[in-house]
Structure 1
Amino acid sequence: MAEQKVVVITGASSGIGQATARLLAERGYRVFGGARDPNRAEAIPGVQFAAVDVTSDTSVTAFVDYVLAEAGKIDILINNAGVSLSGPVENTTPVEAGRVFDVNVLGPLRMIRAALPSMRAARSGLIVNISSVLGFLPAPFMGLYASSKHALEGLSESLDHEVRDFNIRVLLIEPAFTSTNIDTNAARTQAPPGAYADQAEAAIKTVENQIRTAPPPSVVAETVLAAITRPDKMRWPVGGQATLLSRLRRFMPAKAVDGSLRKTFGLGKSPRRKG
């Protein structure tokens, strides 16, 4: 009988993380779920919850040390914890931007730094970073979230080349809008939109409407399972819409992509440039 694989998932108390933890536990993986407050996490059979704040070096180290003490190894690390922010880029303060990057980029970095030594020693491992279609597409009035996911994709691609000689690979999961709290309850910039009010409201309402009919987190979990079962490619768009967007980004003319994106976010046609 094959040895049970050990999976670590951050942000496992809700949304995509919770759905993924449940599915992997059902499929026989030994799952450790990280949550800021594990006492408030819904119990899932086969999932051991422990406290982790991905913005804290100390917390991340303690969490990974706990998993290694309990299980002796980490086969798969799934970096799922994330936050969102909406509002004009011009109105976003460095402090607000820093909070987004601290969770969405530095959080995975902290987890990777803590887990990689044991993976290298075992000469085996898989790192799965939950990205987004906004990791390869722009997002007006979600610019800091999109830029954090672009950064995560660049980090992932670079890291994948660095760790291959140790039989470790890095994967990216790229969902479109998903019915989760991170999308439904996205924070807004503290400064009001001001001159951008009409455009920002149109874009945010369009996103909210899409989220209402978006697929559940279980769809993303199924893609994660497929990816870790056969990690033969790096990028895994989730569902038909994300797959289509990925192809359009690669093969459609830039002008067509630009127009389609503005329509998707409820914005008007671009004015002609003067001069």
Structure 2
Amino acid sequence: MSKNILVTGASSGFGLLIANDLHKKGYNIIGTSRNPEKYASKVPFKMIALDLDSDQSITTLPDRIFKEIGQLDILINNAGFLVNGIAEEIPIELGRKQFETNFWGTIKVTNAILPYFRKQKSGKIITIGSITGLVAFPSTAYYAASKHALEGYYKALRFELTEFNIRVAMIEPGSFKTNIMENSSTTLNRIEDYNSLRNKSEKYADFIVEQGEDPAIVAEKVLKVVETDKPEFRNLVGKGLSVLILLQHFAYGILEKMILKQLNNT
């Protein structure tokens, strides 16, 4: 029997690739989007509405899912967006919105599904994090903070759900060619003192995206986690990430110099 999988944010980017890849492998996919009617005719799987900033949209999600299927086997948390810019220039309201969507929205969706997973004594929760949830870079303060927060939350949740046979895993992608920068939010507020750093950061971000790997690799990693009974919690995806994490934990001074050198040379 094919497993039923819910993929949030399945209309573009990683979410669309993941949903398409799993569909091709024979899984029954339900994708979500704020505006599913725009994409329903363009994808081979079912699309339903979900707005991570709307409590009503989230609380009604299980009823709408179970009108389509009898059981949900896997939740893949992917929906979210990027707030991009120098930390001091970003209004607190925009930073708060970053957390409301990326962190609280993801947690609320998870909590809406958990009672059903507990009742059936099975399930898998896979959340798409980011390397910035482990190592922060300039102009990503709020995004990195939201991803760090997800990392901590799901680490704890992993222990709490073990007795219910519910597995919890994070996918941590590095640099990939996606439309994340095009869909990012920023501010028109500019502090002159940061002009030099801002220009370097923007060039560095463009360089990173241009040099990024094929995002299909992330979908392949998700498939492996889907098909593994007891996956590892942290699943890094991308070149050189293991070394980067090692530097983060044991030689941060070296890592800091590397980042600053790349910024200045971009």
Which TM-score applies when normalising by structure 1? 0.91
Q: Deviations over 1:107-162 (max 9, x none)?
A: 11111011000000011011111100001101111111111110110111011111
Counterpart position of 1:89 = 87
What secondary structure does 1:71 align onto? coil
Counterpart position of 2:197 = 199
Alignment check: 8 A CA contact 2:174 2:239 kept: no
What secondary structure does 1:85 align onto? coil
Q: Do residues 169 (structure 1) and 179 (structure 2) align?
A: no
Question: What are the equivalent positions in structure 2 for 1:99-178 lying under 5 Å apart?
Answer: 99-178=97-176
Counterpart position of 2:244 = 245
Q: Name the aligned partner's letter for residue 236 of structure 1.
A: N
CA distance 1:70–1:185, change in 2 (3 Å) = closer
Cα distance in 2 for partners of 1:195, 1:141 equals: 14
Q: Deviations over 1:71-111 (max 9, x none)?
A: 12211111101111122211222111011111110111111
Displacement after TM superposition at 1:267 (Å): 4.3
Displacement after TM superposition at 1:12 (Å): 0.2
Cα distance in 1 for partners of 2:221, 2:122 equals: 21
Alignment check: 8 A CA contact 1:82 1:182 kept: no
Cα distance in 2 for partners of 1:104, 1:194 equals: 29
More deviation, 178-187/220-229 = 178-187
Counterpart position of 2:12 = 14
Alignment check: 8 A CA contact 1:133 1:176 kept: yes
Cα distance in 2 for partners of 1:73, 1:169 equals: 16
Q: Pick from 221, 224, 248 the counterpart of residue 223 of structure 1.
A: 221
Counterpart position of 2:188 = 190
Q: Deviations over 1:24-78 (max 9, x none)?
A: 0111111000001111116222x11011101111112223221122212211111
Displacement after TM superposition at 1:249 (Å): 2.5
Cα distance in 1 for partners of 2:183, 2:111 equals: 30
What secondary structure does 1:86 align onto? coil
Alignment check: 8 A CA contact 1:184 1:208 kept: no
Counterpart position of 2:35 = 37
Q: Name the aligned partner's letter for residue 194 of structure 1.
A: E
Cα distance in 2 for partners of 1:163, 1:209 equals: 40
Alignment check: 8 A CA contact 1:199 1:267 kept: no
Q: Give RMSD over aligned pairs.
A: 1.6
What secondary structure does 1:187 align onto? coil
Cα distance in 2 for partners of 1:217, 1:33 equals: 18
Q: Deviations over 1:167-196 (max 9, x none)?
A: 112111011122222234422223114211
Q: Name the aligned partner's letter for residue 42 of structure 2.
A: A
Alignment check: 8 A CA contact 2:90 2:186 kept: no
State, as a whole percentage, how many aligned pairs show the same letter.
Answer: 33
Cα distance in 1 for partners of 2:79, 2:216 equals: 16
Displacement after TM superposition at 1:235 (Å): 0.6
CA distance 1:184–1:177, change in 2 (3 Å) = farther
**Is there any run of 5+ residues in structure 2 with no aligned partner, and where?**
none
Q: Name the aligned partner's letter for residue 79 of structure 2.
A: A
Cα distance in 2 for partners of 1:116, 1:67 equals: 13
- Kindly tell me the number of residue pairs found equivalent between the two proteins: 263
More deviation, 236-245/132-141 = 236-245
Cα distance in 1 for partners of 2:21, 2:243 equals: 26
Q: Name the aligned partner's letter for residue 77 of structure 1.
A: L
Q: Name the aligned partner's letter for residue 105 of structure 1.
A: F
Displacement after TM superposition at 1:17 (Å): 0.2
CA distance 1:174–1:241, change in 2 (3 Å) = same
